[in-house]
Structure 1
Amino acid sequence: MSKQLRTSLLTPKIRYQLLATVIVNIITFGHGVGVGWLSPTLTKIQGDDSPLSFQVTIDEISWLGSMLGLGSLCGNLTIAFLLERMGRKFCIYLLAIPYACLWILIYCASSVGFLYAARFLCGFTGGAGYLVVPIYISEVANSRLVAAQITIKHNSIDLLISIRGALTSMVMLSVNLGILVGYILSTYLAYHVVPFLAIILPITYFTANLLLPETAPYLLKQRHLLAAEASFKYYQNQRVDFEADSKEDFEQLRLAVDAQEASNSTALTYKDLLTKPALKAFAAASILSLGYQLSGIFSFINYMSDIFKASGALFDVNTCTIIIGVVQIVGVYTSTIFVDIVGRRILMLVSTLGVGLGCIAFGFFTYSAQIYDLSHLNWLPLVLMIVIIYVGNVGLIGIFFVVLVEVFPAKIRSVATSISVVFLSVLVFATLKLFPLLLHYFGISVTMWFSASASLLTFVYFLLFLPETKGKSMVAD
Structure 2
Amino acid sequence: MTKLFQNSLLQQKTRYQLLATVIVNIITFGHGIGVGWLSPTLTKIQRPDSPLEFTVNLAEISWLGSMLGLGSLCGNLTIALLIERAGRKFCLYLIAVPYACLWVLIYCASNVYFLYAARFLCGFTGGAGYVVVPIFISEVADSGIRGALTSMVMLSVDLGILAGYILSTYLAYHIVPFLGIIFPVSYFIANLLLPETAPYLLKRSQLNAAENSYRYYRNQRDARSEQSSKQDFEELRTAVLAQQMKNSSPLSYKDLITKPALKGFAASCVLNLGYQFSGVFSFINYMSDIFKASGSIVDVNTATIIIGIVQIVGVYTSTIFVDIVGRRLLMLLSTLGVGIGCIAFGCFTYFAQFLNLSDYNWLPLVLMIFICYVANIGLIGIFFLVLVELFPVKIRSLATSISVIFLSLLVFGTLKLFPLMLHYWGISLTMWFSAGSALLTFLYFWLFLQETKGKSMIED
TM-score normalised by length of structure 2: 0.98
> C-alpha offsets along residues 71-107 of structure 1, whole Å, 9 cap, x if unaligned?
0000000001000000000000001100000000000
Q: Which runs of 5+ in 1 are unaligned?
A: 144-161
Q: CA deviation at 1:178?
A: 0.2
Q: 2: CA distance between counterparts of 1:474 and 1:7?
A: 17
Q: 2: CA distance between counterparts of 1:243 and 1:365?
A: 63
The corresponding residue for 2:74 is: 74
Q: Residue 420 of structure 1 is aligned with which of 399, 403, 410?
A: 403
The corresponding residue for 2:149 is: 167
State the AA in 1 paired with 2:41: T
The corresponding residue for 2:112 is: 112
Matched ranges for 1:185-264 at <5 A = 185-241=167-223, 242-264=225-247
1:341 aligns with 2:335: no
Q: Note the aligned Cα RMSD (angstroms).
A: 1.1
Matched ranges for 1:382-393 at <5 A = 382-393=365-376
Matched ranges for 1:354-393 at <5 A = 354-393=337-376
Q: CA deviation at 1:246?
A: 3.3
Q: How many residues align?
A: 456
Instruction: Please say if residues 333 and 378 of structure 2, whose CA atoms lie closer than 8 Å, have aligned partners that are also in contact.
Output: yes
State the AA in 2 paired with 1:437: L
Which ranges of 4 or more aligned residues in structure 1 deviate by more than 6 Å? 4-7
Q: 1: CA distance between counterparts of 2:248 and 2:146?
A: 28
Q: CA deviation at 1:243?
A: 4.4
Q: CA deviation at 1:207?
A: 0.4
Q: CA deviation at 1:264?
A: 2.1
Q: 2: CA distance between counterparts of 1:466 and 1:93?
A: 34
The corresponding residue for 1:443 is: 426
Instruction: Please say if residues 72 and 120 of structure 2, whose CA atoms lie closer than 8 Å, have aligned partners that are also in contact.
Output: yes
Q: CA deviation at 1:253?
A: 1.1
The corresponding residue for 2:21 is: 21
Q: CA deviation at 1:164?
A: 0.5
Matched ranges for 1:33-44 at <5 A = 33-44=33-44
The corresponding residue for 2:304 is: 321
Q: CA deviation at 1:5?
A: 7.2
Higher mean C-alpha deviation, range 232-241 or range 416-425:
232-241
State the AA in 1 paired with 2:209: A
Q: Residue 296 of structure 1 is aligned with which of 276, 279, 284?
A: 279
Q: CA deviation at 1:6?
A: 9.3
> C-alpha offsets along residues 220-271 of structure 1, whole Å, 9 cap, x if unaligned?
0000000000001110112234444433321111111111111222111101
> C-alpha offsets along residues 335-365 of structure 1, whole Å, 9 cap, x if unaligned?
0000000000000000000000000000000
Equivalent position SS for 1:34: helix
Q: 1: CA distance between counterparts of 2:451 and 2:7?
A: 24
Q: 2: CA distance between counterparts of 1:392 and 1:90?
A: 32
State the AA in 2 paired with 1:112: V
Instruction: Please say if residues 7 and 145 of structure 2, whose CA atoms lie closer than 8 Å, have aligned partners that are also in contact.
Output: no
State the AA in 2 paired with 1:391: V
Describe the shift of the 1:296–1:411 C-alpha distance in structure 2 as closer, same or farther (beyond 3 A). Answer: same
The corresponding residue for 2:412 is: 429
State the AA in 1 paired with 2:346: G
Q: 2: CA distance between counterparts of 1:39 and 1:5?
A: 41
Q: 2: CA distance between counterparts of 1:244 and 1:337?
A: 32
Q: 2: CA distance between counterparts of 1:406 and 1:213?
A: 23
Q: 1: CA distance between counterparts of 2:110 and 2:247?
A: 51
Q: 2: CA distance between counterparts of 1:249 and 1:352?
A: 39
Q: 1: CA distance between counterparts of 2:54 and 2:91?
A: 36
The corresponding residue for 1:155 is: none
Q: 2: CA distance between counterparts of 1:5 and 1:36?
A: 35
The corresponding residue for 1:147 is: none
Q: Which runs of 5+ in 2 are unaligned?
A: none
> C-alpha offsets along residues 446-473 of structure 1, whole Å, 9 cap, x if unaligned?
0000000000000000000000000000
State the AA in 1 paired with 2:176: V
Q: 2: CA distance between counterparts of 1:134 and 1:5?
A: 23
Q: 2: CA distance between counterparts of 1:372 and 1:246?
A: 69
1:471 aligns with 2:433: no
Higher mean C-alpha deviation, range 10-19 or range 243-252:
243-252
Q: 2: CA distance between counterparts of 1:372 and 1:183?
A: 33
State the AA in 2 paired with 1:198: G
Matched ranges for 1:45-60 at <5 A = 45-60=45-60
Q: Residue 377 of structure 2 is aligned with which of 383, 394, 409?
A: 394
> C-alpha offsets along residues 353-390 of structure 1, whole Å, 9 cap, x if unaligned?
00000000000000000000101100000000000000
Q: CA deviation at 1:49?
A: 0.7
Identical residues among aligned pairs (%): 77
The corresponding residue for 2:65 is: 65
TM-score normalised by length of structure 1: 0.94
Q: 2: CA distance between counterparts of 1:403 and 1:248?
A: 30
State the AA in 2 paired with 1:140: V
Q: 1: CA distance between counterparts of 2:26 and 2:32?
A: 10
